[in-house]
Amino acid sequence: MKLTSREEKGVEILEPKGKIMGGPDATMLHDYLHDLINQNKKKVVIDLSKVEWMNSTGLGILISGLTTLRNNGGELKLAMITEKIESLLTITKLITVFENYDTVEDAVASFQ
């Protein structure tokens, strides 16, 4: 997995690419999310359009990021989830927990 990020209108946009399956790559995303919180950056969008699939490690990172952000007055929103990830979110009922947008622009606008 590779991870890039950018900021737009005060919102951090993370773009992981590849698979999130556990191991060092997953740790990188987890640490990056928690670093943002430490930097008081509390509005986060994760663009999942380039994530082929993830297992429960990836879902755990998303949940951990979401709950930590919410506990600190922030929010994590998802954008452009693939069919495979939507299926996993549905199976695990996490689809009811995350705000999910069709485009990154819509996700960013939802913070304004």
Residues of this chain that bind other proteins (CB under 8 A): 19, 21-25, 52-57, 59-61, 63-64, 66-67, 84, 88, 91-94, 96-97
State in angstroms the smallest separation of the CB of 40 from other proteins: 22
Nearest to other proteins of 81, 108 (CB atom): 81
State in angstroms the smallest separation of the CB of 9 from other proteins: 28
Nearest to other proteins of 83, 112 (CB atom): 83
Report CA torsion sign: 58, 98, 44, 50: positive
- State the alpha helices, DSSP H only, in the chain: 24-38, 56-71, 83-91, 104-109
Nearest to other proteins of 93, 112 (CB atom): 93
State in angstroms the smallest separation of the CB of 7 from other proteins: 26
β-bridge mates for residue 6, sequence order? 13
Of the candidates 55, 53, 33, the one whose C-alpha atom is nearest the C-alpha of residue 44 is: 33
Nearest to other proteins of 32, 53 (CB atom): 53
Rounded-to-integer distance, Cα 68 and Cα 34, Å: 8
Q: Which amino acid is at 46?
A: I
State in angstroms the smallest separation of the CB of 109 from other proteins: 26
Rounded-to-integer distance, Cα 10 and Cα 2, Å: 23
